[in-house]
A and B are shown apart, each in its own frame.
Chain A
Amino acid sequence: MRNEWLRSDRLPHIYCAGCGNGTIMNCVLEAITQTGWDRTRTVFLSGIGCSSRAPGYIMTDSLHTTHGRAIAFATGVKMADPSLHVVVFTGDGDLAAIGGNHFIHGCRRNIDITVVCMNNHIYGMTGGQGSPTTPLGKTSTTTPYGAEEAPFDLVELAIAAGANYVARWTSYHVKQLTDAVYDGLLTPGFSLIEVRCQCPTSYGRRNKYREPTDYMTYLKTNAILKRKWEEMERSGENISPDSFPVGEFVRRSRPVMGVPDEA
C-alpha cells in the first residue's frame, strides 16, 4: 500500500489546493509499491522548487539538493552503490533551465535512474516566472505580454540525448502515468517521465485556468495519444497549437551505466 511510503505526520503537504504535484506523488508511489522494492534500498532525490518538496513526504532516504543539481547527485548515489534504486523528482525549471546540462549528460551517460519531471510550465515556488517550457503566448510574471520564446520539448530533448525510456503523460491520466512510471523504474538506464500538471496558483490564475478543474479539462481535451497524433500529422489534419502528444516515446537498450553487475 502506498500509504506506508508516506510520512503521514508531515501531511497535509505545503502544495496549494489542487496542485498536480500531489497527484504525481501518488502515482509514483503506487508504481513503486507495484515493483515491490525495499524501502531501505530506495532513494529519492530532488532539486529546488515546489515539485522538489515531494521526497520530504516519503518515508525513505532522500536528498533535497541544490537547484538543478538533483541528477548530478543522483549520478553520485548510483555510482557509489549501484544496487540502490534511485528516483528523482524535479520541476521544469529545475530540469530544463538551471539543470539543463546535467539533464542531457545524464541521458548521454544513460545512468540507471528514473526522473519524474512535474512540468507546470513556470517557476511555481518563486511566484510564476516564465521557464524554458512556457508555451508560446502564455502569460507569466516575466512574460506579461505572452511568451515569445519557443519552449523546450523535454521528450525530444531526452530522446536526442540518448535516454533509454521516455514517456509523457499528464496529471489527469493517473492510470497511464502509473504504468509509465512502473515501466520507467524497471527499464535499465535513464528514464524520463514528463508529466504536464496544473499549477492553479501561478500559471492557471494568469492563463484563464483559475480552478484546478479547468486545467484538468484542458489536459483531458488536448492530450492526444502518440499514435493518433502521428496519424493526424500524416493525413495533414490541422492540430490545435494547444495540443500535445502523450504516450511512450522511446524504449530501447543503449549501453547503460550504474546497473549492478549480477543483473
Chain B
Amino acid sequence: MKLEIDESRCKGCNLCTLVCPYKIYRPGSRPNRKGIYVPEMDRPERCPNCRLQELYGRRLCGMCALICPDQAIKWVPEKPYEPMKVVIEY
C-alpha cells in the first residue's frame, strides 16, 4: 500500500500535519498549479497502514484520512508488492 495525496482535492489546510503520530506530513513549501501548498510527505513508508494493512486485513490508524476535510488522502495498492526495510525511531 502507498500513501497518496490527491492534489486535485487538497486545499492545503495542513490538518494532517497535526494528527499523524509518525509526523509523516509536513506543511508544503511550494505552491502547485492551483496555488495550493500541498503538504509534503516525509518517508511515507513508515505509515503502519502501508506496511501492515495486508497482514492484519483491516485499516490501521487512518487518522489522516479521517480528519482530511477534503477526502484527499488515500492508500493505493502497489503492484508488485515489494517488502522493504523500514527504520522506525521512537
Contact = CB atoms under 8 A, between A and B. Distances in A.
Interface of A: 3, 6, 11-13, 15-23, 26-27, 30, 171-172, 174-175, 178, 200, 211-213, 216-217
Interface string B5-46: 000110111110111000000000000000010000000000
B60 interface: no
Nearest to A30: B66
Contact of B9 (A11, A21, A212): A11
Interface residues of B, number: 21
Contacts of B14: 18, 211-213
A26 B73 CA distance: 12
B39 to A, nearest CB: 11
5 contacts: A18-B14, A20-B69, A21-B69, A212-B13, A213-B18
Contacts, number: 68
A6 B66 CA distance: 14
A180 to B, nearest CB: 14
A193 B52 CA distance: 33
Contacts of A217: 18
B69 A22 contact: yes
B37 to A, nearest CB: 10
A261 to B, nearest CB: 35
Given A6-B71, A213-B17, A213-B18, A17 B11 contact: yes
Contact of B66 (A3, A19, A174, A211): A174
B62 to A, nearest CB: 9
Nearest to A18: B13
A26 B66 contact: yes
B84 to A, nearest CB: 26
A18 B68 contact: no
A128 B8 CA distance: 28
Given A11-B70, A211-B14, 19 more contacts: A3-B71, A6-B71, A12-B9, A17-B11, A17-B13, A18-B11, A18-B14, A21-B69, A22-B69, A22-B71, A23-B15, A23-B68, A26-B71, A30-B66, A172-B67, A212-B15, A213-B18, A216-B15, A217-B18
Contacts of A19: 13, 69
Contacts of B15: 18, 23, 212-213, 216
Contacts of A23: 15, 66-69
Contacts of B36: 17
A228 B36 CA distance: 41
B36 to A, nearest CB: 8
Contacts of B19: 172, 174
- Indicate the member of A3, A22, A30, A216 with the most B CB atoms within 10 Å: A22
Contacts of B13: 17-19, 200, 212-213
